[in-house]
Amino acid sequence: MVDRSNASPSQKRPFRVLGVQQIAVGALDKSALRGLWIDLLGLEPRGTYKSERENVDEDIAVAGRGPFSVEVDLMQPLNPEAKPKVHEPSLNHIGLWIDDLPAAVAWLESNGVRFTPGGIRKGASGFDVCFIHPKGDAAHPRSGEGVLIELVQAPAEVIVAFDSFATAAKLGATP
């Protein structure tokens, strides 16, 4: 076990985490997830995504509006025996809006963060994404500490909304 309690970044962080972009939940059959998140809680269905490579069939729902909305991805595996097992654990991953994804990946890698294979690529919602691995290894001891974390390139409207909100908050006003 590597002690990271006193670890500090080697240089100034060249990116910002702007907020939660998504949470992804999985089950062997996503119909029960739809029943909860869409039918009972009232989230708005936004689309679907299917990928053999990622072993996923998902429905995308949204909570909230505009640049501060959050996706809830309702996932089931195409093949329950194949990997990745999008239904294990049930809370599969969280996604974070990042204002400069390439800079974030380069900086995090230089600070020992382990990423999943695949690098930066287009995600289900069309944004560039990459994933921090839930477990570190000898070469990359830093990780999601048991949680799969998706880093998502924020589009311009999310960055502008975040900056407007942050500026208004500093001034004590409501945006």
pLDDT along the chain (175 residues), means of 10: 49 94 97 97 96 96 93 97 95 97 98 96 94 97 96 96 86 69
Q: How many contiguous H segments (helices) and E segments (strands) does the chain have?
A: 3, 8
Q: Is residue 6 part of a domain?
A: no
Residue 5: per-residue pLDDT: 42
Q: Is residue 110 part of a domain?
A: yes
Give the strand pairing for 148-153 and 128-132. antiparallel
Distance (Å, whole) CA 30 – CA 72: 12
Q: Is residue 8 part of a domain?
A: no
In 3D, which of 113, 84, 110 has the Cα closest to residue 26? 84
Token look-up 């839930």 returns 134
What residue numbers bound the domain in which 113 lies?
17-171
Report how many domains make up the chain: 1
Q: E-assigned strands of 27-156? A: 44-51, 56-63, 70-76, 91-98, 121-122, 128-132, 148-153
Angle at 168 (CA atoms; ends 165, 171), nearest 5 degrees: 150
Q: Is residue 39 part of a domain?
A: yes
Residue 18: per-residue pLDDT: 96
Token look-up 């690098």 returns 119
Residue 9: per-residue pLDDT: 64
Contact of 59 with 30, CB cutoff 8 Å: yes
Angle at 121 (CA atoms; ends 118, 125), nearest 5 degrees: 130
Q: Is residue 12 part of a domain?
A: no
CATH of the domain at 155: 3.10.180.10
Q: Is residue 11 part of a domain?
A: no
Contact of 114 with 136, CB cutoff 8 Å: yes
Q: Is residue 145 part of a domain?
A: yes
Q: Is residue 7 part of a domain?
A: no
SS3 percent helix, strand, coil of the chain, rounded to 5, is 20, 35, 45
- Tallying the residues shown for the chain, one arrives at 175
Distance of CA 93 to the CA centre of its chain: 6
